[in-house]
Amino acid sequence: MDHLLQALSRPEAYPHPTGRIEVVETHISRIFLTRNWAYKLKKAVNLGFLDFSTLAKRKRCCHEELRLNRRLCPDIYHSVVPVMLSDGDYLVDAETNRGKIVDYAVKMVRFDRTMELDRLLSKKLLTNELIEKISATVAVFHNSLPPAPPNTPFGHPDIIIRPVLANFTHTEEITSDLEEAA
């Protein structure tokens, strides 16, 4: 993956002018920020509560992210695009069918990072008015959705506790690996 990270940090990997490419890393994704677009790749991880361990699973999760997030941010979420290896070069959203698909990315319109909530908070610019506006938007959205049918397991304590306990198991594995390495 380090080779892919390096390759996608270069303008030649993209079909459009990129400007300087910034890479943002989370525990489950790498986001490549170009001048106008952001490309989010899922890391090949299995954390129990989410599983991106195979190409097929990452593709499915990219499409699901697009479907879910477009409901509230239709102007941001654009498409799912392939990452290809063609003649030794990695290409994102390439207009070629030559090569092998090695991953998928969620293509999004790039927005001003100074508007990220953690950055607004750190600069004391996250106002009560903005929090109330976001909360109202989320509440209206959730109220517009149909409730789960009564015969489904959603919300049942056994269903809720299962991923919580699995998360403890995965966390314990990670921390024991760190303790051994120390």
Domains and CATH numbers, the chain: 2-111 (3.30.200), 117-181 (no CATH)
- On whether the CB atoms of residues 63 and 55 are closer than 8 A, the answer is no
Q: Give the separation between CA 57 and CA 52, rounded to whole angstroms.
A: 5
97-101, 126-130, 165-169: least confidently modelled range: 165-169
Burial (CB < 10 A; 0-12, 13-18, 19+), residue 16, is: exposed
Residue type, position 135, single letter: S
The pLDDT, as a whole number, for residue 182 is 67
Q: HSE on the CB side for 83, CA within 13 Å?
A: 24
Q: How confident is the model at residue 11 (pLDDT cuts 50, 70, 90)?
A: very high
- The tens digit of pLDDT for each residue in 31-90 reads 999 999 999 999 999 987 789 999 999 999 999 999 999 999 999 999 999 999 999 999
Residue type, position 127, single letter: T
